[in-house]
Structure 1
Amino acid sequence: MISLTARRFRLITAVAVLGAGLLAAGPAAADPGSVTVTVNARAGLATVSDTAVGVNHAVWDSELGTNTVADLYAKAGVGMMRYPGGSYGDIYHWKDNTAPGGYVAPNTDFDTFMGGVHRAGAQPIIIADYGSGTPQEAADWVRYANVTKGYGAKYWEIGNELYGNGHYGANWEADQHADKSPTAYAQGVVAYADAMKAVDPTIKVGAVLTTPANWPDGLVGSGDSATWNETVLSIAASHIDFVILHWYPSGATAADELSRPDQVTDMLYLVRQEIDRHSGGRDIGIALTETNTAVGMDTQPGALFAAETYASLLANGVFTVDWWDTHNGPTTVSTVAGQTDYGDSGLLSSGGCVNGTCEPAVNTPFAPYHALSMLGSFARPGDQFVRAGSDQPTVNAYAVRRANGDLALLLVNKDPDNAHTIAVNYAGYTPSPAVPTVSTFTNGASAVTTTSAGTATSQTLPPYSLTTVLLHPAATNAQPAPPGQPSAGTVTDRTATISWPSSGTGLKYEVYRQVGAVSEELGETTGTSLDVANLNPGTRYTVNVLARNGSGAVSWSSPPLTFTTTAPAHSTCSVRYADANDWASGFVGSVDITNTGSAPLDGWTLAFTWPTPYQQVSSGWNGTWTQQGTTVVVTGTGQLAPNAKVNTGFVAGYTGPNVTPIAFTLNGTVCATG
């Protein structure tokens, strides 16, 4: 984050749940059509960490560390608080509480911050000054925090948005190093991590990455041999414990902005691919330490975006999501969904005025605060997300299951004008017939309302609302322990070997593939591994393992495993695909096609399918290129002799994570790749 008063947003689905009650004081608008939500308790996703719901705090904020703010965050279930404030992290010196070139409010030093953190029952995540600091200064901070004061500060970031240091053109992040390349930053991360862990080897150190499909992702800077992410991870992966992303979607309208969380699953899939290439099998986590919306940041679109973003990221295994930020001040006043929006990216009012219009009293919560409060009570530490889905795009659903058998549901009605009746179906879970507890936050409300309403299978959602539903199980029969984290052994174009830790004796294990909000059984065994066949080449699979005992009781599901099948190892054709030039919103694709068969091809047609809906081919060469939906076809003329190669290519734009295709067919035959 750059400043107190002005945030310039830079470019940069999990499925889930349900629920809701019609809690509006007046009658709802006529229901334009019912919505069916499916909750699949067999399809486990990530487990919620104790740092899941996070916020940013900044040294320019005179309310930093106050009891009022700490108590509001405790009430909202905030588990992580970030300091000293975005880009200030690269100019801030903790020993004297100064930030040369920036403003530091009185009583915002590190000890004051930690007092607020402890009062809120949260943990800190601290930005060590890379831009104007030294490894020794960072190591001294670790010593003061954890040895001298005993704060137990576990999470430390090395700098903030260092890719914005001018190396790629844009220059907002302070960086006093002569070499501003990703190589220099990565080497700095190694030096910082080594110095800091020499003081306290239990800390976790994070390095800054760019977010897929957001600037400068995909760019290769002058003098570099690879992108920022590839360079940083290739050098620093063995020294870090997590990576840091920031995400500020830039939708033009509220509806556009509220569609962006649908990109989260693909976004994190690409990040994990990058991590896996360099981690050496080490478990490197993902933290998203800044996010906000470009539309309606103080009003209901901001609340809906916050709920969608946190739920999507947490369901996909991010261990903390930190809203930008606590107080920031008004910028531009407008009316959004009938409510006054101050263009203030803070969760709490600063009480400031702009163009004669003043915010409410200091620390009055804005709508996104109430969304975080609902998230804090919906997805508690230790809960496991399970997959759910809606058959209508205006309603999104999320669900978590708890160790005591309860199921908590979250539903987002993105329709600003209409209430929706929700019919809920369950797989792998039987809810109690008791009336559930329902909490709702509606457009223009100043608080979350909680009551008992509806049933486990039917709820009504007010327009533009967030709703949570807490369900109890119909029975609490003893279940076997769930299997541990599965892993994929040998993966080919058509097969995969899936293994998992044993969860007891006398059990049968069932392996399921997640297909949307339903599960497809791939097989079962009494052992702890399963060879799965008849898979599709170049396809992403997410699977879970469940245990069943002799009496038929079924466990909760294992954590999810995601793997992607390959292209065939051998074929009568071979394709080499490359992103030849990328500018973070489009790219040039180069495709080499080789006839590895024994017969000539008189004319050829190459086809592939984009793994996501975000890419669109606009033109091409050495062939006739067409795209329908996500399917791309290029047709060439002339003969392609055995062992002959032809190059073709295209120009494409992308509006979301640019996941590349793996499987290509030439005249209907699936090709090898290389």
Structure 2
Amino acid sequence: MNHPHRLLLIALTAWVPTATANETVTITLDPNAKPLATFVPADTFGAGIDGHEAGVTRRLLRGANLARMKDVGFGPFSYRLRTELAVESWHWNPAGHFSGADGKSGYWLSDTTPGRPIDISYGYRLPRRGTSGDQANNDGYSRLDDGDAASFWKSNPYLDQHFTHEDNARHPQWVVVDLKEPLPIDAVRIQWGQPHARAWRMEYCTNLHADYVENRICNAWAAFPQGEIADGQGGTETRRLAAEPVKARFVRLLLLQHAADAAPATSDIRDSIGYAIRELGIGTIDEKGVFQDRITHAKDARRQTAMFVSSTDPWHTAKDRDPDTEQPGLDAFYGSGLSDTGAPLIPVPLLYDTPENAGAMIAYLKRQGHPVLQIEMGEEPDGQYATPEDYGALYLQVATVLHQIDPKLQLGGPGFQTAIDGYRSWPINDEKRPWMTRFMDYLRSRGREGDFNFFTFEWYPFDDCCGEASLQLAMHPRILGSVLEGLRADGLPRTLPWMITEYGYSAFGCRAEVDIEGALLNAETVGLALQEGAARVYLYGLEPAEIMDELNCNSWGNNALFLADEQMSIRSTTATYHGARLINQDWVGPPDAPHQLLPVAIAGGTVFGLPRVSAFALRLPDDTWSLLVLNKDPTNAYDLAVDFLAPKGPTPAPGAVALTQFSRGQYQWHPAGEQGGPVVNQGPVARTAPALPVTIPAYSLTVVRLGALAH
């Protein structure tokens, strides 16, 4: 798949902005135009709360911090589920029980009966894990190549026909191996667990342009000449796949039909269905008939050959609690006062948990009297490489349980990790339709599209946040617009409400996130999302955080409104804090009243056809006007003029113009590694101009308040 915005970024790298005399940028408004959106700010501009390292949550969610967090002015809140990213089962209530006879292992079910308030909850690592890395702490590893024949990977039993009520051929499970470079392959060795696969197929990626798996998903697979197996025997099987070795980097084991050999001494059907593999080897058979394994086996994701799997069994034990990560307790979250404006967006575990545990959580919230309405089903299935059919099967099982508790619950997802290119999955059996097309078809074919009430994705547009920020900001509107256009073309219903459940400059920590660039991008994301019809947007980074240099380019930052000291108390605010307050408290009027977003036309301020100036116009409840104007040019200021297209109707009332501006004149970041911080941090400045035009500084956010229209 080509990405025009990436090609454009390469073309723009030669552009260097130069200072010039102020150019005039004219914003044209038509007060008689149909509004692009009508919204209530208190119901629309939200923020999220996430899981953290052990011992951090209580220090974050305490009085002084909470007061500053509330003061930013966000309305709705969302609860983010880190356990889904960490390949962990969520004990959302530490009180509960395991399904096993020993009471210390099996499938976990938290208690629904209120008892001691839940202030902290934990994730439990899965000992049957298959994928090497994860999107959380990345401190787990795959059991497929850990060098321990006593451990094994097992697929999720809830994807078996016993629970899906459809042929297992609709949910083939798989293992993808990344050998990091093309290697000669003509054999596979599988040490099966129970149950094993009776029918399976070995394939290799034929796309020579496929790069590391997270970015370039292989879209062309071929079976090895002798890779079709219909008589799998279990135990340890060594199979020759080709008479002559085939060079391949990505190799896939596709599991098509399992044998009925349940694990011994178990009465739980979940423990007896799916596929289990103890160790996987891929390589060649030499002239002496000896298998030469090309896979590195180690109990370390950074050392072992990278494995990616379709699903993982949520079975675990009491000893598997992750000691390094915690989630805010549900009672503590509701009791913090952050979500007092209404029912928050709450996730339920889906990929690495059971439908029963998800249902128990909603039952508990309702018994506690906590408001609950919208449920996000899991989080980031694309980041976990789930196929849309597998996600759909789990989605419907959880939906059935939740609607038995409350038929009025609104369910949605999938919470894409990235909507830029990560929402496409590996094709199976020549299935190459986009993720959303396949997911929606899966629901429709079962008459269950009514269970999908809203669509969600996360928005972190720039992986390379060490790149030239001004170029990235110039491209931002086109990127978001093309992503939404692509999603709709790929099957997202245009009438379905959608939300951005997290947004920030990048998923990686870097300076742009705490400097003016982050404030510009976040403000523009809000305006663009409203313009495109979003029902709600949730900023990520409300909690105090430390800065980091995740891309090792000496660019320290984080998606954070507040910088934290060693005690996790707020030591400073960031540019994104001031930008968020500008949106919530200066751009909008009364937060509980309807606002109208009107279309604008902008003349001037472009580079290579890309805008350096963005503008978003609101008609406030009192019929006055409020413009949010972003100058994304790091060097040039502009003179801003405003025209109204209403020759026979109302015209702008004459008089002074109220301005609120935030730029480098009020905020400057001092880079000093992990000790970096703002050396100028004054916040937006309000002033009055006698009339338009007014000057908008380089790299600035400006709110222009105009009076009511006069006839």
| Same-fold status (TM-score > 0.5) | yes
Determine which of 632, 637, 653 is the counterpart of 1:432: 653
Local SS of the residue matching 1:153: coil
Larger Rg: 1 or 2? 2
1:247 corresponding residue in structure 2: 459
CA shift in 2, pair 1:327/1:201, >3 Å: farther
Local SS of the residue matching 2:421: coil
Equivalent residue runs for 1:488-503 within 5 Å? none
1:462 corresponding residue in structure 2: 697
Distance of 1:66 and 1:114 partners within structure 2: 13
8 Å CA contact retained: 2:637, 2:698: yes
Distance of 1:432 and 1:117 partners within structure 2: 41
Alpha-carbon offset, residue 313 of structure 1: 0.7
2:369 corresponding residue in structure 1: 150
Post-superposition CA distance 1:88-132 (Å, at most 9, x none): 576333112111244577793111111224466464212211122
8 Å CA contact retained: 2:344, 2:371: no
CA shift in 2, pair 1:152/1:54, >3 Å: same
Distance of 1:464 and 1:76 partners within structure 2: 22
Alignment of 1:228 onto 2:426 = no
2:411 corresponding residue in structure 1: 205
2:684 corresponding residue in structure 1: 449
Determine which of 565, 575, 580 is the counterpart of 1:372: 580
Letter in 2 for 1:441: F
CA shift in 2, pair 1:347/1:418, >3 Å: same
Alpha-carbon offset, residue 68 of structure 1: 3.2
Alignment of 1:317 onto 2:533 = yes
1:196 corresponding residue in structure 2: 402
CA shift in 2, pair 1:132/1:182, >3 Å: same
Alpha-carbon offset, residue 364 of structure 1: 2.5
Determine which of 394, 399, 419 is the counterpart of 2:637: 419
Determine which of 113, 116, 123 is the counterpart of 1:99: 123
Distance of 1:219 and 1:333 partners within structure 2: 26
CA shift in 2, pair 1:230/1:64, >3 Å: farther
Local SS of the residue matching 2:572: coil
Post-superposition CA distance 1:64-104 (Å, at most 9, x none): 43333433333222123222444557633311211124457
Distance of 2:334 and 2:695 partners within structure 1: 42
* Structure 1, unaligned runs of 5 or more: 1-10, 13-28, 168-179, 354-359, 478-674
8 Å CA contact retained: 2:415, 2:456: yes
Equivalent residue runs for 1:478-627 within 5 Å? none
Equivalent residue runs for 1:333-344 within 5 Å? 342-344=556-558
TM-score, length-normalised on structure 2? Answer: 0.54
Post-superposition CA distance 1:5-47 (Å, at most 9, x none): xxxxxx99xxxxxxxxxxxxxxxx9743221122233141022
Say how many residue pairs are matched.
423
8 Å CA contact retained: 2:419, 2:457: no
CA shift in 2, pair 1:71/1:261, >3 Å: farther
Post-superposition CA distance 1:289-334 (Å, at most 9, x none): 1222146111111111111111101221112222232344321299
Alpha-carbon offset, residue 412 of structure 1: 0.5
Distance of 2:703 and 2:482 partners within structure 1: 26
1:125 corresponding residue in structure 2: 345
Alpha-carbon offset, residue 51 of structure 1: 3.5
2:152 corresponding residue in structure 1: none
Identity, % of aligned pairs?
Answer: 22
Local SS of the residue matching 1:164: coil
Determine which of 45, 48, 59 is the counterpart of 1:56: 48
CA shift in 2, pair 1:447/1:231, >3 Å: farther
8 Å CA contact retained: 1:35, 1:421: yes
Distance of 1:202 and 1:447 partners within structure 2: 47
Local SS of the residue matching 1:142: helix
1:37 corresponding residue in structure 2: 27
8 Å CA contact retained: 1:297, 1:341: no
8 Å CA contact retained: 1:186, 1:231: no
CA shift in 2, pair 1:342/1:396, >3 Å: same
Distance of 2:348 and 2:424 partners within structure 1: 26
1:351 corresponding residue in structure 2: 565
Alignment of 1:297 onto 2:297 = no
CA shift in 2, pair 1:399/1:342, >3 Å: same
Distance of 2:342 and 2:326 partners within structure 1: 23
CA shift in 2, pair 1:81/1:364, >3 Å: farther
Alpha-carbon offset, residue 387 of structure 1: 0.9
2:38 corresponding residue in structure 1: 47
Distance of 2:61 and 2:383 partners within structure 1: 29
1:265 corresponding residue in structure 2: 481
Alpha-carbon offset, residue 456 of structure 1: 5.8
Alpha-carbon offset, residue 230 of structure 1: 1.3
CA shift in 2, pair 1:449/1:122, >3 Å: farther
Letter in 2 for 1:53: F
CA shift in 2, pair 1:75/1:276, >3 Å: same
Alpha-carbon offset, residue 231 of structure 1: 1.6
* Structure 2, unaligned runs of 5 or more: 1-5, 8-18, 95-120, 126-321, 444-448, 606-610, 668-679
Distance of 2:342 and 2:324 partners within structure 1: 23
Local SS of the residue matching 1:54: strand
Determine which of 185, 190, 200 is the counterpart of 2:391: 185
The range that moved more, 147-156 or 61-70, is 61-70
1:256 corresponding residue in structure 2: 471
Post-superposition CA distance 1:159-208 (Å, at most 9, x none): 1111222x4xxxxxxxxxxxx43211111111212211221223221121
CA shift in 2, pair 1:318/1:137, >3 Å: same
Distance of 2:405 and 2:83 partners within structure 1: 25
8 Å CA contact retained: 2:434, 2:490: no
1:503 corresponding residue in structure 2: none
The range that moved more, 147-156 or 266-275, is 266-275
1:640 corresponding residue in structure 2: none
Distance of 2:681 and 2:342 partners within structure 1: 25
8 Å CA contact retained: 2:84, 2:380: no
Local SS of the residue matching 1:98: strand
Distance of 1:435 and 1:293 partners within structure 2: 35
Determine which of 321, 332, 336 is the counterpart of 2:549: 332
CA shift in 2, pair 1:218/1:85, >3 Å: closer
Distance of 1:103 and 1:323 partners within structure 2: 28
Distance of 1:103 and 1:207 partners within structure 2: 29
Distance of 1:234 and 1:438 partners within structure 2: 50
Letter in 1 for 2:122: T
CA shift in 2, pair 1:234/1:366, >3 Å: same
TM-score, length-normalised on structure 1? Answer: 0.57
CA shift in 2, pair 1:286/1:33, >3 Å: same
Distance of 2:34 and 2:702 partners within structure 1: 22
8 Å CA contact retained: 1:433, 1:455: no
Distance of 1:214 and 1:39 partners within structure 2: 31
Distance of 1:407 and 1:103 partners within structure 2: 52
Post-superposition CA distance 1:614-642 (Å, at most 9, x none): xxxxxxxxxxxxxxxxxxxxxxxxxxxxx
Alignment of 1:160 onto 2:379 = yes
8 Å CA contact retained: 1:212, 1:267: no
Alpha-carbon offset, residue 138 of structure 1: 1.6
Alignment of 1:406 onto 2:624 = yes
